[in-house]
Amino acid sequence: MTKVARLKKVLADYTVLDSARVGGFYVELVRITPDQAQAILAKQPEGEERINRRLSQHSVRRIAHSLEKGHWQLNGETLVFDGSDKLLDGQHRLAGCIKAETSFETMVIRGVPQDAFQTLDSGKPRSIADAYGIQGIPNAALMAATLGKMYMWENTGQIADRRHTQMRPDKGDLDVVLELYPEVEVSVKQSERWRRDGHCKELGLTPSMAAFTHWLLTKNRPRLAPVFLEQFVEGIDVARHTPTYALRRAFINAIGDNVGYRGKVALRVTDRIGMHLVIKAWRMHLKGEPCKVLKIGKVEEFPKLP
């Protein structure tokens, strides 16, 4: 089959919006439907002739989520094929298209030597924090992590430890949260001050959890939250047998004497347990109830905000 005939056959797999020949490569702007994505993947060799790495279901879910929410953008990333129309890069995008049952536009480049496959994806992927940093958002990494917790809270009413959830919001999701709650910038700044002053380390509290806690309680009771947070995080005017004192002790006691890599705390209260304790203490604080020891019962449900 001639190169022209083979190219015409391949173009039937998707809708070409624009194309050009650059050097020895064919470059195209295309729209791919789920059926077309399925057809492309079905043609790829398996077994010993397999070129692509095995699919990461996490990556497929992430891309599908982005497509379903309408967050997918044409950003110059390409589907890469060699001179024999074997797919070298892009299987996760195609699988995500199939899972989301949503068409998408992308760039395609053909004629890339197969031995160049080893060099694909060798750079560090750009994270949401990287994108926020490029946008000039202060404390970009902390902002991204805090928005992730806010997104989870708004969608589930809980905070789950990262390793125990499949919820992976994309940048579009976090952008929506930031647009809805711009006041989180104040919470991030406060958390950064707490981190700088050593309060987060003292409690084994991650800066993103500190920022999320500040945002959540301030949103819940704007006038009452500052006193609770000063007592809990900074230990200011905190009295024994109060919920804030018991909450501080619960966090500090979880740290233990172990110190991990580069002096970082190795043991700490997990996000889910920590938020459970915070809300429980917050409810008791608002009611003026005393508390000697703060703990979670074996069958105790995750508390609701008052």
**pLDDT higher than threshold 80 for residue 291:** yes
Which residues, including other chains, have CB under 8 Å from residue 95's CB and lie 6 or more apart?
37, 41, 55, 60, 63
Give me 190's structure tokens.
């406060």
Which residues, including other chains, have CB under 8 Å from residue 108's CB and lie 6 or more apart?
14, 26, 27, 28, 29, 30, 78, 79, 80, 81
| 1-15, 80-94, 216-230, range with the lowest pLDDT | 1-15
Q: Where are the alpha helices (DSSP H) in 27-139?
A: 34-42, 57-68, 91-100, 128-135
pLDDT at 13: 60
Cα–Cα distances in angstroms (integers) from residue 181 to residues 122, 143, 146, 148, in the given order = 36, 12, 12, 13
pLDDT at 280: 96
- The CA-based angle 77-176-57, given to 5 degrees, is 50
**pLDDT higher than threshold 50 for residue 186:** yes
Higher pLDDT: 10 or 282? It is 282
Higher pLDDT: 110 or 144? It is 144
Residue type, 58: H
CB of 116 within 8 A of CB of 25?
A: no
Residue reference for tokens 């020949």: 21
- The average confidence (pLDDT) of the chain is 83
**pLDDT higher than threshold 50 for residue 261:** no
Q: How confident is the model at residue 258 (pLDDT cuts 50, 70, 90)?
A: very low
pLDDT at 277: 94
Question: Is the whole model's pTM more than 0.85, yes or no?
Answer: no
Task: Single out the residue of 58, 84, 249 nearest to residue 170, CA to CA.
Answer: 58
- The CA-based angle 145-147-148, given to 5 degrees, is 65
**Parallel, antiparallel or unpaired: strands 78-81 and 104-110:** parallel
Residues present in the chain in total = 306
